[in-house]
Chain A
């Protein structure tokens, strides 16, 4: 049991119906993600990256195949059971942050904890810790709409981590950010990964993907490449590749 992967898929297939015409988005993916690993899923637009991650998060039902989480089969769960699973085990970060505009930053981060049954005090303490970690302690009472993109994404990350998920799914977390905010967010992702967090991140940016220790490349809904990223050589400063190698 302790050796079970955090998430494992068996011949996972997703076919959308578009006006009666079946459009396969994911075509038989077998993927196994070990605890503590940082997997980047990359590929061109329409290759099924997001669909795959949505299925792993239970946001989108699979057409066929199996999904196993920590040794339990979950693809057969009901919508409500998936909701409970997400609440407990899965943190989600989206490209467009998806913070709730009516609620303050603090409320956004506390919401998942409250949802999971934490007392308001527990939720507040957890939120204070997370926002402190992410350098947003002084923005707790602000509306998310008053935050910059990078800050919003950091709040979204705090929210995803609020319930100490065993799996963090990030769908293009930097897709809507400038390079400086991208760097901030990636640094945080790297940090939580270092703290033992299992992460699956979808990105189409090769440089962002290189942060991961495993790179899965999709094309037309199938895995065309899967391998661990070798330790990159250190390049001289001043190259394009150093954009995100800044000291934070």
Chain B
């Protein structure tokens, strides 16, 4: 503790109180006659003095000179000069082991002021980071929600409707008593009489299944009325439509609806209600389900032979093994009566089909996007810390401890990232609830929140730790630029390459780690963008060339009342039709699986339909078949294996000779020649698939065929799976936007750092005689090199990964590998040019400003 000398009674920390005269006297007594001091005294005499500091001694009463002197002389007065809090801190310094711990609690106001001011100074960058993190977290939230099994609507529908586990379709009424006695079966729904019919909708005929149900809602597999009301005996023409079908058809309670029976008769009906159900999957994977009163069905389809009987079995537990057992017993009990059996697993799987695909895609983009966003945050925070080293050193010289610096930086940069995480989390909730109509599962959404938070904290922690290690000497250069001109650089200058280019390249390689991080920061988003473009290209390929996805036939024709020969002749008469393949679709019972798969016979072994074979070969003989990835996975089979299925009671033994792209039914489809089926199943052909000449418009051909047959033929478009996946395009666009932001954030960091690193160099460069334009070129080259390297690397990685990733995705969704497409070279080139051009533009503006600015020659 020091005590001021007697002749100098005022503590420097207290407001100077003496009158100007006194001040002058005291000054004179210290340094008598000193020239400089004389002027200083005069200056002092002019300054207003302690009146300016009314609050400094608030509560202590006015200070008099006498009192001050007495106070300053006393031992305790030394401490009284400071606040009691400060005295406590002085004690803390004496107990230095505790000092660090104590210091952490102090200075929150100082930290918050620094953080607020710094955020204000770069609010746009902060906003950019918030937006991109939010975008990525939103994608992750949507992905986990869509991938989560429990968000599958099946579960809710099944529980609410007290659904049946197994549905059996038979020709005649089955022995319900026997079914109810089966082990594990708790209750039986039905039997309900059901008949196929069609609904004319916007000029096309949509197949519907009419199901006769009683007025009293059944206890098992109860339709869940969502809109309107249930069937009523007073309105015989009233029907209730399954919800997904009603939505697709635009049907609401009160809508008129005309159905056409198989005999061609039309029946006007009115929709009275819309109901949810777990009896079958959603439209269009499953035909539209319409509940009618038994009287109504009798009126529409009096012919018993054209209808079937549907029975639902509710089991005591939802268990896969028990279900299989029940299905096997059903086959035994009902012998050859069974037309088709569907289980709850099939229905559940079909309900999640599209969501799963979308979820996987979003999940992939989300996870890799998180890596990209993490890189962007690391770059932004790291760059900010690097550019602030001098300020951080100043803070340290003011008394910020290392812990406080680290804490400040974590709070600041982590805060930005975490606001993005929280915003994205909220957006994810809104998105999944509003768009996908799913509520995120708390555990999953919490997982995303915690995971993203951890990632943010880790990537922010490293630069913060680096900032904390700053030496507290602010005068030291912030980041010394080392490195001489390398031999190649000198050579380049010697052969008269533009100096701006050489110097720019040198700048880029002066800090290789930083340059690599920058290039990586651009390469990762670029790679993802290319993968996104690949998804886009794959969808385009689907649409442009349906042949590739096994949809060579653009139109399906059902002959109706026309004989087969006439149908073929009529179709072939159109010059735009190149070939006609007879086909039929039957359900084949899979041994040991207690479920049916679709067996599609199309063309003959001698003249097979042009399926898109990606592995093995096309079937060429009776008994040979090809299948989608999903069926191979289901059976655990591979090409060359022989399997035994049952079609309508007849065994069907086929050998797999190839794998095709199969977009329908999760790829669980067997494709074979019509001649491989038993005659009773194959004749007459259920439909004809028409392959059209390239460029022919299916709609025109369809109209011509309808006109030519006087409306007897039923002609329908084949729905391209890509049309169902149109939402993926939205996802791709949104993700490209987010990724572009990630890249932009990285670029801004690079530019800020470049300017900081070169602030001093610029003066030197100008002094050396470089024109502002050359200075600008130097700076842009430095950034541009990293940009070009990053963009090219990302594009190459993306192009090689895109097809593989999409194939992987195809494989897991059952469609099968072979659908992946790399964006065309033209698209890739455009993407690269756009990315590099935009990056250079972003780099150009600050470089131009810096090159033109008159920079003061100051040290850093």
Contacts and interface: CB of A to CB of B under 8 A. Distances in A.
Interface in B501-530: none
A91 B377 CA distance: 35
A125 interface: yes
A207 B483 CA distance: 39
B4 interface: yes
Instruction: Give the secondary structure class of B's interface.
Output: helix
B34 A211 contact: yes
A194 B52 contact: no
B43 interface: yes
A136 B404 CA distance: 30
B680 interface: no
Interface string A74-115: 000111110111111000101110111111100100111011
Nearest to B31: A213
B43 A188 contact: yes
Given A115-B399, A196-B12, A2 B89 contact: no
Interface stretch (A22-30, A41-49, A158-166, A215-223): A158-166
A196 B118 contact: no
Contact of B86 (A34, A117, A192, A234): A117
Contact of B93 (A88, A187, A188, A195): A88
Contacts of A57: 397
A71 B42 contact: no
Given A171-B475, A231-B34, A196 B117 contact: no
Contacts of B623: none
A210 interface: yes
A198 to B, nearest CB: 7
Interface stretch (B53-61, B286-294, B358-366, B563-571): B53-61
A6 B5 CA distance: 12
B97 to A, nearest CB: 8
A84 B89 contact: yes
Interface stretch (B99-107, B188-196, B203-211): B99-107
Given A171-B475, A194-B23, A213-B31, A81 B394 contact: no
Nearest to B2: A35
Given A98-B474, A132-B48, A183 B1 contact: no
B480 to A, nearest CB: 13
B427 to A, nearest CB: 30
A132 B16 CA distance: 12
B39 A183 contact: yes
B13 interface: yes
B406 to A, nearest CB: 11
A59 interface: yes
Contacts of B12: 161, 164-165, 168, 192-193, 195-198
Contacts of B58: 125
Interface stretch (B75-83, B228-236, B296-304): B75-83
A70 B1 contact: yes
Contacts of B183: none
B35 A234 contact: yes
Interface residues of B, number: 90
Contact of A36 (B8, B35, B397, B473): B8
A88 B89 contact: yes
Interface string B8-32: 1111111110000001001100111
A128 B394 contact: no
B320 to A, nearest CB: 62
A88 B40 CA distance: 27
Contacts of B106: 115-117
A133 B114 contact: no
A70 B401 CA distance: 22
A88 B8 CA distance: 21
Which 3 residue pairs spanning A and B have beta carbons closest together?
A164-B13, A87-B399, A190-B40
Interface of B: 1-5, 8-16, 23, 26-27, 30-44, 46-50, 52-56, 58, 75, 81-83, 85-86, 89-90, 92-94, 96, 99-100, 102-103, 106-107, 109-110, 113-114, 117-118, 120-121, 390-391, 393-404, 471-475, 858-859
Interface of A: 1-2, 4-6, 34-36, 50, 54, 57-60, 70-72, 77-81, 83-88, 92, 94-96, 98-104, 107, 110-112, 114-123, 125-126, 128-129, 132-133, 135, 137, 159, 161, 163-166, 168, 171, 176, 183, 186-198, 210-211, 213, 231-235, 241-242, 244-248
